[in-house]
A and B are shown apart, each in its own frame.
Chain A
Amino acid sequence: MSDKTTLKYTPEHEWLDIDGDVATVGITDYAAEKLGDVVFVELPAVDSDLASGTVVGEIESTKSVGELFAPVNGSVAEANSAVVDDPSLVNSDPFGDGWLIKVRFTELPENLLSWDEYSALVGE
C-alpha cells in the first residue's frame, strides 16, 4: 500500500504514484467508498494511447458506474489483471493491490493535487 501523503491526486478522485516516467493510477478510498461494492472493472488495452481527461475505463459497482479518466497523456504500460479478475480489490485495497493501470507519460499536468489539497476537496 502506497503512502497516501506522497501521492498526487486528480479532482476525479484518482491517485498517481509517479516513478520516473511511469505513473501508477488508481482510485481513492473516498471514491471506492462512494461507489460501493465494485463488481466489474474495464481497463484500456496495454500500449493504447491515452489523452488526458478522456474516459478510458469503467469501474462498476452494484448501484453505479464510475468512469476512469486518463490523468495524463501517455500510453498504457500495464493494466492490472488482478483487479479485473477480482474487482473487490478496489474496495479492499484501493491504494495497493487495487491499482488500475500504469501509464508511461511524457509530461505531467500542472494541476495535480497534493494529499492535503485532495483531502480538502473531499472535505476530510
Chain B
Amino acid sequence: MPELFSERHIGTDASAHASMLAAVGYDSVDALVEAAVPESIHVQELLNSSIPAAASEREALAELRELANQNTVRTSMIGLGYYGTLTPAVIKRNVLENPSWYTAYTPYQPEISQGRLEALINFQTMVTDLTGLDTANASMLDEGTAVVEGMLLARRASKLTTNVFVVDADAFPQTKALLASRAEAVGIDLVEVDLAGGAALPEDAFGVFVQYPGASGRVWNPASVLAAVKDQGGLAVVAADLLALALLTSPGELGADIAVGTSQRLGVPMGFGGPHAGYMAVRKGLERQLPGRLVGVSQDAAGHPAYRLTLQTREQHIRREKATSNICTAQVLLAVMASMYAVYHGPAGIRRIAAETAARADALAAVLTGYGLTLVSESFFDTIRVHVPGEASTVVERARELGINLHLVDDATVGISVDETTTEAELRAVVVAFGFSADESFAGLGSESTRLPEDLVRSSEYLTHPVFNTHHSETAMMRYLKQLADRDYALDRGMIPLGSCTMKLNAATEMEAITWPEFASLHPYAPEADVLGYLGLIEQLESWLAEVTGYDSVSLQPNAGSQGELAGLLAIRGYHRSNGDLNRTICLIPSSAHGTNAASAVLAGMKVVVVACDDMGNVDLDDLRAKIEQHAENLAALMITYPSTHGVYEHEVTAITQAVHDAGGQVYVDGANLNALLGYARFGDFGGDVSHLNLHKTFCIPHGGGGPGVGPVAAKAHLAPFLPGHPMAQRDDHGAFTHAGGPVSAAPYGSPSILPISWAYVRMMGAEGLKQATGAAVLAANYIAVRLREHFPVLYTGDNGLVAHECILDLRPLKEATGVTVDDVAKRLIDYGFHAPTMSFPVAGTLMVEPTESEDLTEIDRFIDAMIAIKAEADAVGAGTWPANDNPLVHAPHTAQSVIEGDWDHAYTRAEAVYPVRSLIRGKYWPPVRRVDNAFGDRNLVCACPPPEAFAD
C-alpha cells in the first residue's frame, strides 16, 4: 500500500478518531457528518469524476514538473506593469519559503504579530517615502484594482456631486478595462483624455487618473493637469512605478492626493500575473478614507511602543455596506518581500538599480535611433516604443526566436521594457530583432540616462530611516528576518484555531513548485504558446473545483474572497440586465453575514436589505419571506453563507434558496466555510447559482500573514457568460464556456503562481481524501464543542445538536459571573502558547474555534486543557481569590521583561504568569509586547517607522 498524502495532511489518525468519536457519541466519522449535514442536501455518488485518484507527493511533483515543462521561459520585455526582477536569495529562502512568514494569519492579534507588523510598517514607510505622500496602507491586491479603489476614494472624498472621472489615455490596458467594468456598476462615467498630449479636461470631474510614467513609457510632468482638477474640487490619482520614483519627482510633490501602483518589481517574481502587492498612499486628511489594512504604532500596557492594525472602523468587518472598500485579505507576504528588498538594498541600492535600468533603456534607444528609427516619446524611464510601420509583427517574431518577448502595440509600433535583469546580450538581441547588427556595443550603459525630463529629476530623499540603512550584509539581513519571525506566532509554532479562517496545513510539497522559473518567471501577457502548462493546470483546477461545488464553470481570476464575491454579484447583475431586468438591484443579506458581503454588494451596484436571524442563529424564514415579498419585483440576489457564519448547517437551506428562486432572484452562496462541506454536499445541488471559494482556506494556499488569497468564482451555466473575462487573456474559453464579464483583477488569471499549491492539494488528496478531510475537520470541531461545553456554553448547534467545522464558545456568561472578558481569555491563551480563536465574530463576546483537520489530537487536547485551565483562573477571579484588577488574565499576555524586571507585587506568582502549564518551561513562545492599547493607537495615528529612540528601553 503506497503512502497516502491524506494521512500526512490530516492530523488525526484512526485511533484518535476512535477516542474522539467516543466522546462525541458516534460510531464513525461518516455517521457523524451525515447526522450533522441535513439529509436533504447529502451529495449523490458521482460517476465519471474528473478528479483522479490520489497521487503520492512524488507523483504530484512529477506531474507538476511536466506541466512546468510545457511553459517556455523567455526574457520578458513586455512591460505594462510587470517586469523582470531579481529576488534576493536571502529573501526567497527566509521569507517566501519560510513557514514562519507564510503560515501566519492576518495580524489581528497584535501581541503575537509584531514581526510582520514591523515588516508592513517598513512597507508603508517605503511607499510614503517614494510617493512623497503622508500615509500608505499595508498593500492592495494589485495595481489595477488599486486604481479602481483610488477612483472610489476620490468620489467619496470629493465634495463635487458629479459622476465624471478622467482617465489618462496612456494608462495600462488592464487598468482601463478594470476601471470600465467597475465604474459602470456604481454609476461613474469615465472620460478618456490624452492628458500628455494636452487635450482639454472636462469641467466637472470629481477626479483624474494619471499613469506615471505612461504605458507608452513616456515621462511627462502632470502637475498642471493635477492642479486643474484639484482647483475645481476633484482629487488627483497617480499610478506610479516605485522603481521609477527613485529617479523621478514623486507624485506627492507633483500635487497628487492619492498614489497607487504595484511593488512587483521590488523583488517579487512576475508569476504569470501574481500575486504581488499593490499599494496606495494618500495625503494627510484622507487617511480615514483608505481602503484595506493599515498598520499603526500604539503602545502596550507597559507604555512601550507596539504595532497594531489601526483605524479598523473603516473596514468591511465593522462598517459593512458603508465600508471604504470590500477588500480584506491583502498581499502581506508579497508586501513583506518588497519591503525587505528595500531594506536589503537601501536608498543607494534602489537608486542604483533604477539608474541602471534607465541607462539600459537609454542605451538601447540610442542605438535604435542611430539606425534611423523614431520613438513615440523621447522622454522615458525604462520603456520605449519604436515606430516600425508594417514591420512590428516581424520584429516581435524575430525577438521571440531570440528568446525575448516584446510588446506588439500595433502593426507599426513595438514596445520594449527593460529592467533590473536585462543584460547587454539581451539588448543586442533586441537590436538584431529590429534587423540590425549583432555586434552593437552600448556606450550609454555605464552612465546616467539622459532621457528623464530635467524638471522631473528627483531631488527629495527617500528610505532615510535606519531600517533601510542597516541590514545590507547578507548576515545582517538573515538575522533581521529571523528576529522578526521570532516575534510572531505562525502555524510552525502551534495551532491557530481561528474560526472562519481555516488555518490548515500548507504542505511543503504543495509549496514546492511556486518558485520554479517555469511558474515564477512568466509575464501575464506572454503568448499562449509560452504558457500551455499554466493553461493546462488552470483548466484542470477549474474543472475540479466545479465538480466539488456542483457548478458548471469556474474563474480563478479573483485575487481574494472579496473579489470573488464581487465577481459573482457582477455576474448576477449582468444576468439580470441581459434579461432586461434593470430594476433587480436588491441584495438580501442575513444579519449574521460577514461584513464583506454587504460591502461587495454595494460595489456591484446593489442595495443591501438585511434579513434577520432567529435565536438559533439561522436565517429567520418568516422575515426572509416578508423581505422577498416586499422586494419581489426588484430582487437581485440573496447572499447566504453555508454552513452559516454561526458554524451550523442550517436545516432549511433548500427552502431558503427555493423561496429566492421563486421570486426571480439568484442565490449567492458564500464559500468561506466550504471546509465543512467538501465531499458531503455541494452548493450547486442545494440551490446555489454562484459562489466564491477561498483557496487560501479550503485549498491550502497559505495565509501569508494576511495574503495572498485566491477567491475563485464558480457559477451555474446561465451565469457563466458573465464571469470575469480579460482583454489580454490568452484564452477566452473556460471548458465549454466563454467568460465575457468585465475583469476584476489586473491579470487574466489573477495570481497563477500560487495555483500549483491548490492543484497539488487536490491531486494528492483525491476526491476521497478531500471528503476525509471534511470529516476530520467536523469531528475535531464537535469534539472540542463536547469537551468544552460544560465550561463554556456552545452558542449555536444544528441538527442533532451538532456543529459544523467550527463552534462558537459563549463567554458572555463568564464575563457576567467573573468580569473576565473575551479579550482577557484571548490574550491569556498567548501565555499558554496559543493563537486566540476568532474574537467577537460573528457574535460579540464570543470565541469561534475552528481546529481544521490538520491538527493532531495532542494539540487539540492541549488547547482544550488550556481553555479549561483559563476557565478555572477566571472562576478564581470571580470567587475573589484574585482581585478583578490584578490577576493573570487581566494582565495577559506576559512578556519576559514584565516578570523579570522590578519588584513583583502582584496577587499571582511569576510562574503562574508565564508557566501556567509546566510543559511550557522547555518550549515557550514569548510575546515581545504586553497587551496593546487600541484606543491610544487610533487616537494618535502614526503609520510610518518610528525612530529607533522610541524603542530605547
The interface of chain A, by Cβ under 8 A from chain B, is 37, 39-40, 60-65, 87-88
> Which chain A positions have C-beta within 8 A of B935?
37, 39, 61-62, 88
The answer on a CB contact under 8 Å between B288 and A65 is no
Chain A nearest CB, measured from B797 CB (Å):
27
- A94 CB, nearest partner CB in chain B, Å: 16
- Contacts A40-B288, A87-B939, A88-B939 given; indicate if A62 touches B319 (C-beta within 8 A): no
B313 contacts the other chain (CB 8 A): yes
Q: How far is the CA of A62 from the CA of B309 in the complex (A)?
A: 10
Q: Is the CB of A62 within 8 A of B288?
A: no
Show 7 residue pairs from A and B whose CB-CB distance is below 8 angstroms, ordered by the A residue: A37-B938, A40-B288, A40-B939, A63-B312, A63-B318, A64-B318, A87-B939
- From A37, A65, A88, B934 is in contact (CB under 8 Å) with A37
Once the chains bind, are B313 and A60 in contact (CB under 8 Å)? Answer: yes
A contact residues around B319 at 8 Å (CB): 65
B279–chain A nearest beta-carbon distance, Å: 24
User: A40 and B318: CB pair below 8 A?
Assistant: no
Separation in Å of the A9 CB from the closest CB of chain B? 24
Query: What residue in chain A is nearest B940 (Cβ atoms)?
Result: A39
Write out the residue numbers on chain B whose beta carbons fall within 8 Å of the beta carbon of A64.
313, 318
Given contacts A37-B934, A40-B288, contact A65 B939 (CB under 8 A): no
Contact of A39 among B318, B322, B938 (CB under 8 A): B938
Residues of B within 8 A of A63 (CB): 312-313, 318, 840, 934
Q: Shortest CB–CB separation between residue A19 and chain B, in angstroms?
A: 31
Determine the chain A residues whose CB is within 8 A of the CB of B840 once the complex forms.
Answer: 63
User: Which A residue's beta carbon lies closest to that of B298?
Assistant: A62
CA distance A88 to B312 in the complex (A): 17
Q: How far is the CB of B318 from chain A (nearest CB, A)?
A: 6
Report Cα–Cα, A117/B319, bound state, in Å.
30
CB contacts (< 8 Å) of B313 on chain A: these are: 40, 60-65
Which applies to chain A's interface (DSSP): helix, strand, loop or mixed? loop
Determine the distance from Cα of A87 to Cα of B318 in the docked complex, in whole angstroms.
Answer: 19
Q: How far is the CB of B595 from chain A (nearest CB, A)?
A: 11
What's the Cα separation between A65 and B402 when bound, in Å? 59
Scan residues 638-694 of chain B and give those whose CB is less than 8 A from a CB of chain A. Answer: none
Q: In the complex, A64→B938 CA distance in Å?
A: 12
CA distance A60 to B288 in the complex (A): 11
Q: A39-B938, A65-B318 are known contacts; what are 16 more A-B pairs with Cβ within 8 Å?
A: A37-B935, A37-B938, A39-B935, A40-B288, A40-B313, A60-B313, A60-B938, A62-B312, A62-B935, A63-B312, A63-B934, A64-B313, A64-B318, A65-B319, A65-B322, A88-B939
Most B CB within 10 A of own CB, among A39, A62, A63, A88: A62
Q: Which residue of chain A is the closest to B288 with respect to CB atoms?
A: A40
Chain B positions 396 through 412: 1 when the CB is less than 8 Å from some CB of chain A, otherwise 0: 00000000000000000
Task: Tell me the minimal C-beta distance from A97 to chain B in angstroms.
Answer: 16
CB distance from A59 to the nearest CB of B (A): 10
Q: Mark B930-953, 1 if CB is under 8 A from A, else 0.
A: 000011001100000000000000
Task: Output the least CB separation between A14 and chain B (Å).
Answer: 20
Question: What 1/0 flags go to B217-236 for Cβ under 8 Å of A?
Answer: 00000000000000000000
Closest B residue to A36 by beta carbon equals: B935
For residue B938, which residues in chain A have a CB less than 8 angstroms away from its CB?
Answer: 37, 39-40, 60, 62
Contact with A along B269-290 (1 / 0, CB 8 A): 0000000000000000000100
CB-CB under 8 A from B312, the residues of chain A are 62-63
Chain B, 311-358, CB within 8 A of any chain A CB = 312-313, 318-319, 322
- How far is A64 from B939 in the complex, measured between Cα atoms in Å? 14
Contacts of A87 in B (CB 8 A): 939
Residue of A nearest to B323 (CB): A65
With a CB–CB cut-off of 8 A, which chain A residues contact B939?
Answer: 39-40, 87-88
Q: Which residues of B contact A62 (CB under 8 A)?
A: 312-313, 934-935, 938
Determine the distance from Cα of A37 to Cα of B933 in the docked complex, in whole angstroms.
Answer: 10
The CA of A65 and the CA of B840, in the complex, are separated in Å by 15
Return B846 CB to nearest CB of chain A, in Å: 14
A62–B938 Cα distance when bound, in Å, is 7
Residues of A within 8 A of B934 (CB): 37, 62-63
Q: How far is the CB of B943 from chain A (nearest CB, A)?
A: 15
Return A67 CB to nearest CB of chain B, in Å.
9
A46, B377: Cα distance in complex, Å: 52
Q: Which residue of A lies closest to B319 (CB)?
A: A65
> Bound state CA distance, A72 and B829, in angstroms?
48
- Complex alpha-carbon distance, A40 and B840, angstroms: 22
Q: What residues of chain B lie closer than 8 Å to A65, measured between beta carbons?
A: 313, 318-319, 322
How long is the Cα–Cα vector from A63 to B108 in the complex, in angstroms? 12
A61 to B288, CA, bound (A): 13
Q: How far is the CA of A88 from the CA of B936 in the complex (A)?
A: 10
> Residue on B with the closest CB to A91?
B935
Report B-chain residues with C-beta under 8 Å of the C-beta of A88.
935, 939
The docked-state distance in angstroms from the alpha carbon of A62 to that of B322 is 16
Residue of A nearest to B935 (CB): A37
Mark interface residues in B828-851 (1 if CB within 8 Å of A CB, else 0): 000000000000100000000000
From residue A58, how far is it (CB to closest CB) to chain B in Å?
A: 9
Q: Which 10 A-B pairs have the closest CB atoms?
A: A37-B935, A39-B938, A62-B934, A60-B313, A39-B939, A65-B313, A62-B938, A62-B935, A39-B935, A65-B319
Q: How far is the CA of A102 from the CA of B318 in the complex (A)?
A: 29
Complex-state Cα separation, A75 to B305, whole angstroms: 43
A37→B938 CA distance, assembly (Å): 10
Minimum CB–CB distance for A37 against chain B, Å: 3
B910-947 toward A: CB 8 Å interface, digit per residue (1/0)? 00000000000000000000000011001100000000
Minimum CB–CB distance from A8 to chain B (whole Å) comes to 28
CA separation between A65 and B319, bound complex, in Å? 7
**A45 to nearest B CB, angstroms?**
12
How far is the CB of A65 from the nearest CB of chain B, in Å?
5
Q: How far is the CA of A65 from the CA of B317 in the complex (A)?
A: 11
| Cα of A63 to Cα of B844 in the assembled complex, Å | 10
* Complex CA distance for A65 and B315, rounded to whole angstroms: 11
How many Å from the CB of A68 to the closest CB on chain B? 14
Cα separation A31 to B773 with both chains bound (whole Å): 45
Q: Which residue of B lies closest to A38 (CB)?
A: B935
Tell which of B313, B318, B319, B934 has the most Cβ of chain A within 10 Å.
Answer: B313
In the complex, what residues of B have CB within 8 A of residue A61's CB? 313, 935
Taking each of A39, A40, A65, A87, which has the highest tally of chain B beta carbons within 10 Å of its own beta carbon? A39
Instruction: Tell me, in angstroms, the Cα distance from A37 to B319 when the chains sit together.
Output: 17
